[in-house]
Amino acid sequence: MLSPEEKARYSRHLIIPGVGMEGQIRLKNASVLLIGTGGLGSPAALYLAAAGVGRLGLIDPDTVDVSNLQRQLLHTDSAVGKSKLDSAAARLRETNPHIELVLHPVRFTPENALSIANGYDIILDGSDNFPTRFLANDTAFFLKKPLVYGAIHRFDGQMTVFAPHLGSPCYRCLLPESPAPGAVPSCNEAGVLGVLPGIIGSLQAMEAIKLILGAGEPPLGNILIYDALKTTFRSLRLPHDPSCRLCGSAPTITSVSNAETNASASCAVTDPNMKAITASELKDMLAADDFNALLIDVREPEEYDVINIPQAKLVPLQTIPTYAKNLPKDTRIILHCKAGMRSAKACEYLSSLGFTDVTNVTGGMDAFQRL
């Protein structure tokens, strides 16, 4: 039952037909696991806590960085450098002291996924990388729990509920396997307008609450696409893939530990033959009198304008093929980007054209800036 204080707190819920006392008690007895307390997890956690969802589990191994604050509203300036979970817990306890918070200060991995997620009714994916999204999907599938999915990129967002046990497709029906490293920029490399995760994360909180209340219809088999620049929401049919390796008729994925979930979420270069130097080595080379390499920055002009290495020539990744046509194949080339992933892609490309002296700067501008 609800205490008098809780009745007062949730009075605007209690007077909604279809929620009422029964719905509020359902919320109180429910549990949601949030993977990540970043851009999506922040609004989702705040709304779920405020709504009185009785037990919230939070997974996040990271610490608060100043670059998070532009969009991750759970965290404040005074929390920079502190653990994200401590920061989130303090903020959520301020929002609602009547709920239980369970903190999992670990990375969500194939080893711990089932045991952590098994303790919750609903999984809400606020992650920003493909291996974790696949892991959230596969975990929800094997545990037969609904997965509230959200993703963002620059000005676009998408949201749906995956629940194959309720007749919907799964994330792998949408994306059968991981994109090649470098094909899609990681959240670290791609920009995102701060309010966008606020919108998508809030939609995720709404779907979680609807699932708990049994209110309305979850978007099973549809995916909601938000285009901030055009100010449009579109609901697209997302069909079940009969040949899906997880939820199809002849599945080949039988465990949460598989190629996609075990892939590295980092931007590290994996090609062992690629020549690489650290940002610190680059700095020393630039300081030497005999520096004679062509240093190329493959980022976008907007990124170059914010900060750049004066000796670097700006050649955005897509224009590398045109630019390379006029270069002798034995040119000594050093490439960098923001974090080292796009430049690694450029290195691979130039090597494939027959360039013989191509080097990547590990960690890119981010590492260079920290020197």
Cβ 183 to Zn ion shortest distance, Å: 21
Q: Which is nearer to Zn ion, 247 or 344 (CB)?
A: 247
Using DSSP's 3-state secondary structure scheme, residue 181 falls into coil
Q: Which is nearer to Zn ion, 46 or 173 (CB)?
A: 173
Cβ 123 to Zn ion shortest distance, Å: 16
Using CB under 5 A, which of the segments 115-123, 130-138, 162-170, 258-266 binds Zn ion? 162-170
Q: Phi first, then psi: what are they for 24, rounded to 5°?
A: -65, -35
Does residue number 173 form part of the binding site for Zn ion (CB under 5 A)?
yes
Using CB under 5 A, which of the segments 73-81, 171-179, 267-275, 355-363 binds Zn ion? 171-179
User: Is 18 buried (19+), middle (13-18) or exposed (0-12) by CB count in 10 A?
Assistant: exposed
Give alpha helix (H) positions in the chain: 4-9, 11-14, 20-29, 41-51, 84-95, 113-117, 130-143, 171-174, 195-213, 259-262, 279-287, 301-306, 320-324, 341-352, 364-370
Q: Phi first, then psi: what are they for 357, rounded to 5°?
A: -135, 75
Q: Which of 148, 170, 196, 339 binds Zn ion (CB under 5 A)?
A: 170
Q: Which of 245, 116, 255 is nearest to 169 (CA)?
A: 245
Q: Which is nearer to Zn ion, 68 or 158 (CB)?
A: 158
Q: Which is nearer to Zn ion, 60 or 125 (CB)?
A: 125
Q: Phi first, then psi: what are they for 152, rounded to 5°?
A: -135, 155
Using CB under 5 A, which of the segments 59-67, 172-180, 211-219, 308-316 binds Zn ion? 172-180
Cβ 174 to Zn ion shortest distance, Å: 8
What Rg value do the Cα atoms of the chain yield, rounded?
23
DSSP letter (8 states) at residue 268: -
Question: Considering only residues 238-257, where is the footprint of Zn ion by CB under 5 A?
Answer: 244, 246-247
Residue whose beta carbon is closest to Zn ion = 244
How many residues bind Zn ion (CB under 5 A)? The answer is: 6
Binding mask 190-229 for Zn ion (x = CB under 5 A): ----------------------------------------
Question: Considering Cα of 294, then 299, then 301, then 303, what sign does the dihedral take?
Answer: negative
21 to 25, 26, 27, 59, 209: CA distances (angstroms): 6, 9, 10, 30, 15
What is the C-alpha separation between 307 and 318, in angstroms, rounded? 20
Q: Which is nearer to Zn ion, 101 or 143 (CB)?
A: 143
Cβ 176 to Zn ion shortest distance, Å: 8
Does residue number 163 form part of the binding site for Zn ion (CB under 5 A)?
no
Cβ 293 to Zn ion shortest distance, Å: 47
Q: Which of 188, 261, 271, 199 is nearest to 228 (CA)?
A: 199
| Residue 16: how many other CB atoms lie within 10 Å | 12
CB-based contacts of 4: which residues, under 8 Å, 6+ apart?
none
Is 247 tagged catalytic?
A: no
Cβ 251 to Zn ion shortest distance, Å: 9
Cβ 172 to Zn ion shortest distance, Å: 4
Exactly one of 170, 244, 337, 347 is catalytic; which is it? 337
Q: Which is nearer to Zn ion, 246 or 312 (CB)?
A: 246
| Residue 258: how many other CB atoms lie within 10 Å | 17
Question: Considering only residues 274-313, where is the footprint of Zn ion by CB under 5 A?
Answer: none
What is the C-alpha separation between 121 and 29, in angstroms, rounded? 10
Exactly one of 187, 244, 247, 347 is catalytic; which is it? 187
Q: Which of 145, 172, 299, 342 binds Zn ion (CB under 5 A)?
A: 172
Q: Which is nearer to Zn ion, 122 or 173 (CB)?
A: 173
| Active site positions, annotated | 187, 337
Residues that bind Zn ion (CB under 5 A): 170, 172-173, 244, 246-247
